[in-house]
Amino acid sequence: MSVHDDVMDKAAVRHVIEDAVAGLHQDDIALRASTCDALGIGTPEWTACRDELIEELDEAEDWLDREEAIVESDTSAPLTDSDTGPEFLPSHATLALVQSAMEEELERSPDRVVRTQDPKWLTMLYQRLRAKGRGKAKFISHRALDDFQFRLPERTTVALVSDWGTGNVHAIAVAKQIALRKPDHVVHLGDVYYAGTPREVRKNFLEIWQAFGPQRARYWALNGNHDMYSGGYGFFEHLLPAFDQPASYFNLQNQYWRLLGLDTAYLNHRITPAQLAWLPAQLTGSARTILMTHHHLLSPFRKRGDAMEQALDPYLSAGQLFAWIWGHEHHLFEFADYRGVKCRCIGHGSLPYVPPDRRRRRHHAEIVRMETRPSPLNPSRGMHGFALLRFDGPALAIEYVDEVGGTAWTEEW
């Protein structure tokens, strides 16, 4: 299983929603009987299920209409990937879950067609959307302030990659390049597509690392917004145990450097109170802190991460953060220092994206360097890759490696 072009096409997603709603309104007797049987429910329960499903899908289509109206009315709005190509990845849980169900149906169907009137499809779709009613998976909090602290050797190599959980050819290419460099640690900064379901975590993430990633590395993961669209169950109940990782936030540290990972997706683009209570105890001593999050602080295309900046203001003001690396936006950016902090975006892990020099900027963000080369695997889209951090005592060398083994640029910190 990997992300499929048809599933990332806005028109195709809209068609599936409209077709499914039309069929549900007709309430065909045979379809009702088959779907009830598949769900293990009776006719009275089906009426409630059908109405709930229609309401969810209608709301998602209304959201699409509102977003399109905003873009059409605002000439300064950025060109989104879906405006210039097939990559439609909305920040909307229902739409992400519809895409997840579409992907599984396309994989199951011998002729790669989503049959919206098929009881199996409707059952899968209903079960995907019903997962929203479960609420979120339980957030795992520390009990002591020294919980989730781990030793980072003074000489070690760490690969950072983000928005990588697609299972596509780019993800495989990036995983192979990471493996060739034999890092001691691999940190994923979040997002398993489309909605972070347990199946997607297994097929698009864990199995790809197992098949193509470095075998001796210790793996770590941060939570992403797509991981939470199905409630975070794939992340908290499957991904974390597979990595033997106790929680969605952690501290890897030696006497010179600190890699500090925070969960900014459990509360979307925010930091949970538990993490804020844990944080001061991590920022003691003279080690330089490299903060890692899924969500961005700065962006030329999206609103700034004001809530995160406000929460971290005491540490920014005190000069306790040396660098901040994030994903979420599917580009590679080196920003100018902000409040004395080195800021980097590495969200170009594997999801096809329109190179940033072909998009209109909507927000101010001072960019020093950015990746604009095309991907050799898809010349109409941008290059994918990861950041390789080589720690040697107080020195840190960073190489931004691409999916074919080249180098975008290097830095010495």
Instruction: Give the residue-averaged pLDDT of 66-82.
Output: 53
Selected residue with higher pLDDT from 221 and 49: 221
pLDDT the model gives residue 78: 43
**Burial classification of residue 37, based on how many CB atoms lie within 10 Å of its CB (0-12 exposed, 13-18 middle, 19 or more buried):** exposed
Whether pTM > 0.85 for this model: the answer is: yes
Q: What is the DSSP code string of 318-360? A: TT---EEEE-SSSSEEEEEEETTEEEEEE--SSS----GGGS-
In the chain, DSSP finds a helix count (H) and a strand count (E) of 15, 16
Domain ranges of the chain: 5-134, 149-412
Q: Over range 191-215, report the average pLDDT.
A: 95
Question: 260-277, pLDDT tens digit by residue?
Answer: 999 999 999 999 999 999
Beta strand 149-151 with 250-253 is parallel
**75-89, 172-186, 239-253: lowest mean pLDDT where?**
75-89
Sequence-ordered list of residues with C-beta below 8 angstroms from that of 183, at least 6 positions apart, any chain? 157, 158, 159, 214, 217, 388
* Whole-number pLDDT of residue 82: 36
CATH class of domain segment(s) 149-412: alpha beta
Out of 4-8, 28-32, 194-198, give the one with best mean pLDDT: 194-198
Nearest CA among 245, 237, 243 for reference residue 196: 237
Say how far apart CA 312 and CA 310 lie, in whole Å: 5
Share of the chain above pLDDT 70, in %: 89
- pLDDT above 90 for 129: no
pLDDT value at residue 77: 47
CB-based burial label for 153 (10 Å; 0-12, 13-18, 19+):
exposed
Model confidence over 154-170: pLDDT tens digits? 999 999 999 999 999 99
pLDDT at 80: 40
